[in-house]
């Protein structure tokens, strides 16, 4: 049980707590040599790097158990991976191809939404429906507008609402078109099974700290080495020439340990469905019937709830909850420190969700080990704030 004085952490989508095995792997790797060195010490370091690479490959291997480890390219994080992948210059089947156009989803993380290396005029932001699912008609219009090669980049699961995009339907829309698919799986990996082959993507993006590794490490996993973007960082031959620079071995080792832990958790005995999200949403609906759960009718991550309440500004609620010992988010961690509305909330309001986009949303995201008592405490504190805001709103209207 959590006491009133104990802090609770409900912001796993921003960064999951460091796993003990990831910490141990990082510490053990700190004293190792450069993994590019050919002496015994270098070879020992290289073995640690390749062990981590295999663990990451297994995490996205799906039905074949393991993706080719050589297709895993370690980066400094998901943002670097997205920047490399969102480039007009690709090799397709080993031949250089220019992709003059890019489509992204309006509600996606800024790492993809901002278009990477594409000129702003070349980027199409696809609208979403009331649940935050991409508008397939808009996607079809973009895909069929020209025969020029294109790139479609999307977050598989939205970081703020947890909404999961329908990959099968998306693949059907772009089938037969010269469109490469880049999939940001940073929020999916480690929480739900990821099968690279089944996604139909040319590349997926992973982030270490979203699954309990150190911050500062991510990966690109390619479906085929012959189809990939040109290197973003050039100079050395590290990562098989696809990402120059001495590997951050402690971070990579922690990533491998976290990926291995995630694989064990996902491949273990099937447990009853996780009902904590359903319980949380049911409590909010009963106690605060005016509240809106974003994306409620869509398929979503089992650990994520985004809620808006009339009259309650998310930034204000986040600060008050923090003072009450409850850590939550008012949006993506990459932008929640900025003053201004969430682009996700704004897009859903535009799609017809009856909310004030200026309020923003409170995002609750928890982990496998989060106890129900922590969610109960959030509900109590959030209800108190919402009722106070509602009472003030009523007084203001009466005045």
Kindly list the catalytic residues: 334
Rounded-to-integer distance, Cα 290 and Cα 355, Å = 10
Are the CB atoms for 71 and 197 separated by under 8 Å? no
Tokens at 334, concatenated: 């990459």
Q: Output the CA angle 103-108-111, nearest 5 degrees.
A: 85
Tokens at 396, concatenated: 């203001």
Tokens at 297, concatenated: 């009718």
DSSP state of 364: E
Are the CB atoms for 179 and 151 separated by under 8 Å? yes
Are the CB atoms for 238 and 14 separated by under 8 Å? no
388: number of Cβ within 10 Å: 13
Instruction: Give per-residue burial for 221-254: e unless 16+ CB within 10 Å, then b.
Output: bbbeeebbbebbbeeeebbeebbeeebbbbbbbb
Rounded-to-integer distance, Cα 251 and Cα 193, Å = 23
194: number of Cβ within 10 Å: 23
Are the CB atoms for 314 and 328 separated by under 8 Å? no
Rounded-to-integer distance, Cα 353 and Cα 344, Å = 12
Rounded-to-integer distance, Cα 380 and Cα 266, Å = 32
Between the CA of residue 195 and those of 61, 217, 390, what are the distances in Å? 5, 21, 45
């Amino acid at each position: 049980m959590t006491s009133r004085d104990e802090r609770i952490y409900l912001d796993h989508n921003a960064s999951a707590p460091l796993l003990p095995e990831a910490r141990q792997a990082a510490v053990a790797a700190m004293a190792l040599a450069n993994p590019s060195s050919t002496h015994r010490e270098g070879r020992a370091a290289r073995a640690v790097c390749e062990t981590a690479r295999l663990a990451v490959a297994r995490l996205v291997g799906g039905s074949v158990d393991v993706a080719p480890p050589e297709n895993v390219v370690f980066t400094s994080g998901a943002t670097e991976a997205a920047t490399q992948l969102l480039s007009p210059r690709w090799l397709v089947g080993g031949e250089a191809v220019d992709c003059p156009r890019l489509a992204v989803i309006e509600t996606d993380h800024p790492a993809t939404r901002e278009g990477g290396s594409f000129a702003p005029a070349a980027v199409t932001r696809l609208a979403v429906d009331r649940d935050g699912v991409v508008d397939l008609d808009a996607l079809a219009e973009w895909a069929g507008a020209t025969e020029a090669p294109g790139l479609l980049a999307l977050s598989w699961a939205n970081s703020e609402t947890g909404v999961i995009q329908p990959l099968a339907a998306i693949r059907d829309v772009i089938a037969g078109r010269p469109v490469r698919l880049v999939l940001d799986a940073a929020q999916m990996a480690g929480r739900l099974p990821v099968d690279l082959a089944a996604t139909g993507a040319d590349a997926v993006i992973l982030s270490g700290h979203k699954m309990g590794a150190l911050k500062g490490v991510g990966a690109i996993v390619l479906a085929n080495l012959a189809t990939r973007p040109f290197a973003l960082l050039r100079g050395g031959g590290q990562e098989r020439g696809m990402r120059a620079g001495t590997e951050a071995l402690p971070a990579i080792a922690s990533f491998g340990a976290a990926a291995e832990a995630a694989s064990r958790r996902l491949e273990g005995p099937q447990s009853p469905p996780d009902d904590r999200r359903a319980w949380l949403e049911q409590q909010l609906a009963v106690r605060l019937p005016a509240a809106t759960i974003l994306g409620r009718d869509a398929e979503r991550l089992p650990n994520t709830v985004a809620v808006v309440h009339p009259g309650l500004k998310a930034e204000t609620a986040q600060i008050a909850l923090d003072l009450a010992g409850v850590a939550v988010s008012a949006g993506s961690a990459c932008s929640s420190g900025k003053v201004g509305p969430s682009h996700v909330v704004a897009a859903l309001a535009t799609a017809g969700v009856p909310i004030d986009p200026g309020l923003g949303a409170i995002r609750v995201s928890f982990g496998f080990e989060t106890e129900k008592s922590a969610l109960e405490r959030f509900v109590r504190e959030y209800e108190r704030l919402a009722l106070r805001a509602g009472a003030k709103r009523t007084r203001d209207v009466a005045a």
